Amino acid sequence: MLQNPRAYDKTTIPNRVEPHSPTEMLLAWSNGASYAVPYFELRFYCPCANCVDEHTGVRTLKRENVKPDVRPTGVNAVGRYALQIAWSDAHSTGMYPFDLLYSICLEKGLPLS
């Protein structure tokens, strides 16, 4: 379970998002923190309606259904509040709010700073 994203400071935004290794994404934040996050974890925590039931909030995407070699094929900013990540498994509807991304970094990422 991810930490409560409400603890996230809304002034903290990602200022660098790029590949870190063949299996990880670098997320560097405006507060100085940097994390290497496995692509697999980012894909698994997609918050879209295909991956999470809109009404119950229950994750419908199962870990075993995420390909271990999944990779991002594109990352785009959505305003100043989220990133949209397109994946090699043809999934591209998930918008990752910054608070969710920060929680994923804290729980699943390797601190680099």
Digit-coded pLDDT (tens) for 69-87: 999 999 999 999 999 999 9
CA dist., res. 21 & res. 74, Å (int): 16
- Judged against a pLDDT cut of 90, whether residue 3 lies above it is answered with no
DSSP state of 35: E
| Domain parsing of the chain, residue ranges | 5-111
* Cα angle, residue 59 at apex, residues 3 and 2 outer, rounded to 5°: 10
Question: Would you state the pLDDT for residue 2?
Answer: 60
Contact partners, residue 98, CB within 8 Å, separation at least 6: 8, 10, 12, 13, 14, 81, 82, 83
Residue 41 has pLDDT above 90, yes or no: yes
- Start-to-end C-alpha separation, the chain: 23
**Per-residue tokens: 78:** 């959505």
Is pLDDT above 90 for 95? yes
User: Whose CA is closest to 8, among 95, 101, 85?
Assistant: 101
CA distance 6 to 52: 19
Question: What residues are paired with 96 via a beta bridge?
Answer: 83
Could you confirm whether domain 5-111 is CATH 3.30.390.50?
no
